[in-house]
Structure formats: structure tokens, C-alpha cells
Amino acid sequence: MVSPPRLPAWDQVPIKRLLREHTRFPVTVDNDATAAAIGERWAGIARTTPSFAYLYLGTGIGGGIFLDNQVYRGRSMNAAEFGHITVEPDGPECYCGNRGCVEAICCPSAIEAAMGGHVAHAAVCAAAAQGEPGARQVIERVAGRLADAAVSVVNMLDIDLLVLGGPALREVGEIYREVIARAVSSRALARRLHAVRVETSPIAADAAAIGAASLVFHATYAPRLGTLLSG
Ligand SMILES: [Zn+2]
């Protein structure tokens, strides 16, 4: 791992080798959001959907991409970093070096800051779900910025399904889903050609763990073009 966001003590740690040496098991390592997308393909809502994007809401905001049944990881396993799409050009600086990133505005610590810094993220979500106006307003603004990014993702990938998941979804998943679905159905370029479903993950809170377990199946059973050709 090289400079993992929000985990400064884990820079330059050869995690795969260390785990393999200490357990003597084969070890697979992946990005948590990509793992969550793989879990959704094997055990969640995307089982029959060849192309979809996964918006992962945890401590930070990440993503995963499946295109034509293949997981897309990118050159350095850092594809689908949806959290670092700029949605407010004059917004707060982000640790990534960019400005006004989705993550800098929508992650749990940003939501706490928007409430004045005195209310925990879980409590903000619970209050918003019960209709408390201040919390509801903060969550709806966050949903709007997530929706801005979601429209860009849908336009870029031309997918059928956008899944929302991760532990930070909490009780506000349905608020996020509604706002994002409305944006995608009214602002995505190909909206007259096909619908894009927006769904909350049925395994949202455990998505990354289920995904990590699914990685073993996926690495073993999913057809990969490169393997077929070299065979
Ligand atoms: Zn950023």
C-alpha cells in the first residue's frame, strides 16, 4: 500500500506479503470499494447486471466499476475514485490536491462539520431520516452533490445500474437514492435511450467484507479474456 488515504501509518506497508507470511494462505488484496462492487455482483443486487457502477460511502467515498461482466481496476487499482470528482470548483481543499471534491463535501466528517461539529454522523443520519429540518437540509445538500457526481459517472460509463452502498449509507440511503435517481433520470445524456436504475445495496453495511470474501470466487471463476487468450 502506498499512501492510503486517511491511514497515514499504513504507508509503504507490504500488506499482501505480510499476511501471506503470517498465515501461509494465499492472499488477495483489493480496494474496499472495488471489493464491495464484486460482492454486489456475486451476492447483492447486481447479480444479473453486466455493467454497473458502485458508489461506496465509508469514511471516505470510493467506487467500483463492472463493465461487460469484468471488474475494471485501472492501471494501479485506483479506478473509480468517484469521491474525487470536483462538484464545487470553489469548494474546500481535499487531501488529494484537488478542490471541492465530492468526498470533501459528502464524507461523514464533512457532514459533522456542516452540523457545527457537535453531532456525530450517525446521529445526523438518524435525525434526517426522522425529518428533523436542520439534519435533513444537510443530508439533502450532500445528496445533491453526490447526484452531480453520479450524473458524470453515468455519462462516462453508459451503465444500466448505479448501486449505493457502504457503512456510511445508514438510515439516509433512501434520501440519497431518491435525489440521485431523480438527477440521473432527468440529466443523464442517454436518458431517452435507456433507464438507469439507482438502488441501495441490500448488503450495504457489510459490502466490503462480503466483497472481500467474494474476491476469492471472482479470482477463481470469473472468465478473464487475458487468461482465455493465453490459454
Ligand atoms: Zn479529492
CA 152, chain centre distance (Å): 14
Phi, psi of 76 (to 5 degrees): -130, 25
| 3-state secondary structure labels for all residues of 123-144 | HHHHHHHCCCHHHHHHHHHHHH
Map grid coordinates 462538484 to a residue.
87
Confidence of residue 28 (pLDDT cuts 50, 70, 90): confident
Residue 82 Cα to ligand 1 midpoint, Å, equals 9
Could you give the domains of the chain?
A: 31-218 (3.30.420.40)
Q: Which three cell numbers stand for residue 3?
A: 499512501
User: Is residue 223's pLDDT more than 70?
Assistant: no
Write out pLDDT tens, residues 151-207. 999 999 999 999 999 999 989 999 999 999 999 999 999 999 999 999 999 987 888
Model confidence pLDDT, tens digit, residues 79-128: 999 999 999 999 999 999 999 999 999 999 999 999 999 999 999 999 99
CA-based nearest residue to 125, from 133, 136, 116, 117: 136
Between the CA of 97 and the centroid of ligand 1 the distance, in Å, is: 6
Q: How far is the CA of 24 from the centre of ligand 1 (A)?
A: 37
**How many A from CA of 86 to the centre of ligand 1?**
8
- What average pLDDT is seen over the chain? 92
- The span from the CA of 167 to the CA of 124, in Å, is 14
Predicted confidence at residue 31, as pLDDT, reads 87
Task: State the distance from the centre of ligand 1 to the C-alpha of 91, rounded, in angstroms.
Answer: 11
- Counting Cα atoms < 13 Å in the Cβ hemisphere of 166 gives 24
Ligand 1 centre to CA of 193 (Å) is 32
Grid coordinates in use for 171?
438510515
85 C-alpha to ligand 1 centroid (Å):
7
For ligand 1, the distance from its centroid to the CA atom of residue 58, given in whole angstroms, is 15
Tell me the whole-structure pTM to 2 decimals. 0.90
Tens of pLDDT, residues 115-162: 999 999 999 999 999 999 999 999 999 999 999 999 999 999 999 999
Nearest Cα residue to 83 out of 66, 100, 70: 100
Cα of 98 vs centre of ligand 1, distance in Å, is 5
For residue 158, how far is its CA from the centre of ligand 1 (angstroms)?
23
